Every structure is written in C-alpha cells, then in structure tokens.
Amino acid sequence: MEISVKVLRETKEILIEHLEEPYDLKIFQDIDKAVQYLREMIERALDSGNIYESQCTEEGKSCTVKTWYIRIPPERLLNILRFAYQTKCEDVKKLLNDYLSVTGLSKSNIRVITPTLSALRLSLGNRLTEQALLIGKYLSENSMDKAMDMLFELALTNCMLREIIEELYSTDTNTFQEVVKRVLERKGNLRKDELTYTTDLVKLLYRHSVKCRCFIVKNLFRTYLYERRKVYINNVPGECLLDIVELLIQYVRDSKPYMLQVILDPARSRVDRIELVRKDTTLLLYDKQSEAYIQVVPKVMITRDVLYASMLRQELEKLRSELQQKCRQSKITYMLMVLILVNDMYTKAKLYLEHILRDEQVSSRIIDLP
C-alpha cells in the first residue's frame, strides 16, 4: 500500500491520496475523520491485502478515482502541462513554484492546483505522470485534438466526471452546466467555482476531443434506443459514424427484424443469417449461408423540418445513380442508409433503408426509432 498525505495550512485541509490502482483522493477538514480514514485503510490492508478490493468498480464503470476537485480554470491547467513539458520538470512542487513565479501568480495557488492534478491522474504523489507530460508535448506542438483526446481518457477514470459525461442528454453545450450541477449536488460537492470550472472542462473536452464527442453521441443513441429517454443530437461526428450505424442496424435486427427483412432480397438473405462485418472504413452485411455481401452506405440528415421528404429525395438522387452503376459491376449489392434526425426540443430519429439490387430494382423502408 502506498499513500500520500498532504496538509494545506491555508485552507486547513488534509489530502490523503492512494497512489496505486484504484487511485483515490480524499479531502478532509476534520483531523479526527482523516485519522479515522487512515486507520480504516491500514486495517483493511492488513486484513485483505488490498485496501480497495471491494471498491474497485462503481456500478460496473471503469473509473478508479472517486474524488473530484477543481478550483482553477481548465486553461490554466493546460498552461501548466505545457510549461512542464517545455521545462522538462516532473516534480510537482518545483513545477508549480516555477510556473507561478514566471506568471506572477500567488504561490497560494499550489494548494488548489495539486488536488486537481491528482483527481485527473496527471500526477501521482509529487511526480507528473507520463500522460501529463505527453499532453504538455501535444499542447506545445499545437496538437490540441491529440492533447484533449488523452485528457478525455484520463477524465473517464474519474468517477464523478464519468458520471457527468454519461448523464449528458444533449450535444448542445449550453445544457452541460445543468447536468454538472445535478451530479455535483447529488455528491454534496457543489461550490460555485467547481461548478463553473467542471462545466468549462467538459465543454473544452467536447469541443476539441473527437473521442469525447463520439463517446457522448454513441451514449445518447444507446440511451434513446434502449432506455427511450429524451435526447437532443445536433451533431454526428464522421469519425464514429460507422459505430453508430452498427449500433442502429443491431437495434433494428434485434427489435424490428421484420422491417429489415422486407428490404433484403428474400430469395437470398434472411435476417437471422445476417451478421455485421467491419473492414477498415466499410460496413458490410454478410449472409452466412449464401456468402453474399451487402455494403452499407451511411448518410446523416439533420433537420428541424418535420416535412423532410424533399430534402431526403435530394440526398437520395445524389447517390442512387452512382450506386446502381457500381452494383452492375460488382458482386455485392448496396444498402443506402440515411439516419434522419428531426430536432425540436428533443430529437426524433428515423432510419431510411434502401437496398439496390443487381437488376436495379430498389426496395426501401422508413423505420421509426426506437
């Protein structure tokens, strides 16, 4: 068992950090409670050999840091990581002293920066992690997207941040603060500065991290399809479109197989013999018995107009002639799939499927989701 205990004299706070997986950070203002917590940790370690054996996961989520603490703007956190890489400094205490001296900020900021580094797994004990320095490297090279992708992966290891991200019901960043406030209040952790900086951090990740945007959008579709919750989706990242298409086809195949069967070639394919196959950036439906392939060609159409037929027709006309030509020259057939998102206060999703056969016959269907 390896732990770190820090006393912040100015705020009279005691920080107890567990430095092995699952990582954790506890903050106390009561000495007796801090001592009692340490005693319980030691007793569990002596009894079981693993002080957190019964706490390694929270409701099946792959998060390991149970405490959240942020009292600095996210932009300052990024500046510190950039400064760390540029000065090749891994020692947290020296790094913060040097950074605050160079920027002219008060040294009292050390007490609020240190716990944030720990809560995001950017530091262990008094040393920056490899991920922290790599994020600093990406920032120094103006590779903001790479830096934010890595920071997002670290954010998911924090149970409170993960809970916030999973509870988002919209891709509209104006709704993020409402969700952050709800989760922080539920955890008894609501301070005005923490609400502001946590919201800013989640917005920063969403705007600059493809992994974050894809994680949120995929989670929204799962929530919409399987929990039938109201969601709002005004953006589908191209980087994860195939993942979403795969999710939608699996849903239709399992929940509405008769609708998928209608547009398949009944002489050759049956829904119960179809499996999804990913080949690089191509998604195929494969019939295990006839060994026939159907290539899925996905598109997304987002509109606020419930009378979307003319817009859909224009989208289809652009693709049909090209696909029919390909179909005549290929051993596979094509299925055009248009995901239609009709947005008002919330999103209503529909799926247009069109199977183009070799004889140029077309079979199509619009499916209401869920």
pLDDT in tens, 108-156: 999 899 999 999 999 988 899 999 999 999 999 999 999 999 999 999 9
pLDDT of residue 57: 36
pLDDT over 50 (residue 51): no
pLDDT of residue 54: 27
pLDDT of residue 326: 75
Q: Are residues 266 and 165 in the same domain?
A: no
Residues with Cβ within 8 Å of 299's Cβ and at least 6 positions away in sequence, in order, are 315, 319, 336, 337, 338, 339
Report if residue 287 sits inside a domain: yes
Report if residue 337 sits inside a domain: yes
Report if residue 65 sits inside a domain: no
How far out from the chain centre does Cα 227 lie? 18
Pairing of strands 347-356, 293-303: unpaired
Of 220, 251, 268, which closes a domain? Answer: 220
Domain count, the chain: 3
Looking at residue 195, its amino acid is: L
Q: Are residues 82 and 216 in the same domain?
A: yes
ω into 22 cis (within 30 of 0)? yes
Q: Are residues 266 and 325 in the same domain?
A: yes
Share of the chain above pLDDT 70, in %: 90
Q: Are residues 308 and 188 in the same domain?
A: no
* Average pLDDT value for residue range 170-182: 96
Report if residue 317 sits inside a domain: yes
Burial of 344 (0-12, 13-18, 19+ CB in 10 A): exposed
Q: Are residues 259 and 365 in the same domain?
A: yes
Report if residue 348 sits inside a domain: yes
Q: Are residues 43 and 107 in the same domain?
A: no
Phi, psi (5° rounding) for residue 296? -85, 130
Neighbours of 73 (CB within 10 A): 15
pLDDT of residue 360: 66
Report if residue 280 sits inside a domain: yes
pLDDT of residue 59: 36
- 254-302 per-position pLDDT tens digit: 999 988 888 886 656 788 888 899 988 899 999 888 888 889 999 999 9
Domain carrying residue 23: 3-55
* Average pLDDT value for residue range 186-213: 93
Which pTM does this prediction carry?
0.82
Q: Are residues 99 and 18 in the same domain?
A: no
pLDDT over 60 (residue 52): no
pLDDT over 70 (residue 323): yes
